[in-house]
Amino acid sequence: MKICCIGAGYVGGPTMAMIAHKCDDIQVTVVDINEKRIAAWNSDELPIFEPGLDDVVKHARGKNLFFTTEVDKGIREADIIFISVNTPTKTYGVGAGKAADLKYIELCARRIAEVAEDDKIVVEKSTLPVRTAESIRRILEGAGKSIKFQVLSNPEFLAEGTAVEDLEAPDRVLIGGEDSEAGDKAVQALVDVYAHWVPRERILTTNVWSSELSKLTANAFLAQRISSINAISELCEATGADVDQVAHAIGTDSRVGPKFLKSSVGFGGSCFQKDILNLVYLCEHFGLPEVAAYWEQVVHMNDHQKERFVKRIVRTLFNTVSGKKIAVLGFAFKKDTNDTRESPAIYVCRDLLREHAQVAIYDPKVNEESVLRDLEEVGTFEPDNGKRKHVSVYQDPYEAVKDAHAVVILTEWDEFRELDYQRIFDTMLKPAFIFDGRNILDLKELRKIGFEASGIGKP
């Protein structure tokens, strides 16, 4: 059995590494048009940081796991082809700002249609709007070849930072296929791959559309929990309640459950916002405005959370941050990843720069190039507005905080809990402010040192 995966990103890379690691009898080839990325997958410095991933990759690479830019060869040789390319939100034309841009998916489907010489199972791994499998099928069949294609939906539920754990012991694997004999056979082939290590009862099979919709719904529900607790955090700040106490109290109800109730400066990542907007666009497309508005509110709440965090910083610093050094600790969208896509830090830094602050950034895994690119993409550095020189990226947190008016925590990296806050306090300007956007620090202890400390949803 040979598997090919098109797209060596945050999803394709780790997922295929795990399949190869668990299935000695399957040859897995990951292809990508990005030469730099493929070279990195073949080096000691993998292109993405994920705890435990190095070992999984090293175990299989060169044996039954290969990374290459030879896309056509990979496609031609494979029995099963995963499509795991990026599906960003459209930035132009119809559906701009909401609909998924499927051009990369379509290019893959056309490529497969062109080069395939025998029957293939094509698996959509990327998160996609409902009924994309249908478009893929039509493109494949449109090539008019005598060979047969089966299109499956197999959404990935791994979370970044815990990708290896999630792949090793998933809550479930979801496989959607066509309701036909050929469809069942294709589903079974993919079930057999996962059954190498996932208990059979955790492998769910559905029709294609249920599978596609389940992925969007799962992410919408998870994001909705965060926006819900974040909405309550603002009310906590107004009333003197403590959002962590409220979250704990409601989370003990088994119907609610304790997970995903951590109030924060807002959710980020490549999936949540994109998938909700996809859902909203779908609902509008099908003439369901009330459903669309319901889900869109989750994104509005998230934007509000980021905006009000910056406003609070400005208000607390005597209504101006102009010319003030603000130290930002954490730029990744969550801990244990170098991924910054849709990170709340991007928007917080942009807005601080618009308030003319001097922003000093430290993140243990995000480099200067990524920070500047991200800030540029959201229009922080309009031509010649000089904002670029107000951003500096540090390798050492203690350098970043030196002479700062305020420290702002934007990612919940464990190392931020361990910093020497007395040392930080001593090198900052006074009053020394600290804004914990992740509620990871002990505010009482910080206040004892002398900080003016505040968190999210804290009295």
Q: Is 97 annotated as a binding residue?
A: no
Is 7 near ligand ADP (CB under 6 A)? yes
CA distance 112 to 129: 20
* Partner that binds at residue 347, options ligand UDX, ligand ADP, none, CB closer than 5 to 8 Å by kind: none
* Number of residues this chain uses to bind ligand ADP (CB under 6 A): 21
Q: Write out the DSSP string of 178-236.
A: -SSHHHHHHHHHHHHHHTTTS-GGGEEEEEHHHHHHHHHHHHHHHHHHHHHHHHHHHHH
* Partner that binds at residue 158, options ligand UDX, ligand ADP, none, CB closer than 5 to 8 Å by kind: ligand UDX
Q: Applying CB under 6 A, which of residues 156, 242, 355, 374 lies at the interface with ligand UDX?
A: 156
* Partner that binds at residue 84, options ligand UDX, ligand ADP, none, CB closer than 5 to 8 Å by kind: ligand ADP
Is 260 near ligand UDX (CB under 6 A)? yes
> Which residue is listed with tokens 């599978």?
211
Q: How many CB atoms lie within 10 A of CB 217?
A: 15
Instruction: Find out whether 328 and 390 touch, Cβ atoms under 8 Å.
Output: no
Least spacing, CB of residue 7 vs ligand ADP, in Å: 3
In the region spanning residues 241 to 280, those forming contacts with ligand ADP, defined by CB under 6 A, are 270
Q: Applying CB under 6 A, which of residues 48, 130, 261, 310 lies at the interface with ligand UDX?
A: 261
Q: Applying CB under 6 A, which of residues 41, 49, 267, 295 lies at the interface with ligand UDX?
A: 267
Non-local (6+) Cβ contacts of 31 within 8 A are 4, 5, 6, 8, 38, 67, 68, 69, 70, 71, 74, 75
CA distance 440 to 437: 8
Strands 452-454, 391-394: pairing is: unpaired
Residue of this chain nearest to ligand UDX (CB atom): 269
**φ and ψ at 456, to 5 degrees?**
-100, 125
Give the residue numbers marked as catalytic.
271
CA distance 312 to 12: 39
Closest CA to 155 of 98, 100, 209: 209
Is 33 near ligand ADP (CB under 6 A)? yes
Asked if omega into 459 is within 30° of 0 (cis), the reply is: no
Least spacing, CB of residue 422 vs ligand UDX, in Å: 28
**Residue number with CB closer to ligand UDX (269 or 455):** 269
Q: Applying CB under 6 A, which of residues 84, 264, 337, 370 lies at the interface with ligand ADP?
A: 84
Binding range to ligand UDX, per CB under 6 A, among 80-88, 154-162, 296-304, 375-383? 154-162
Binding site for ligand ADP (CB under 6 A): 6-12, 31-34, 37, 71, 84-86, 104, 107-108, 126, 270
Binding site for ligand UDX (CB under 6 A): 156-160, 219, 222, 226, 260-262, 264, 267-269, 271-272, 333-334
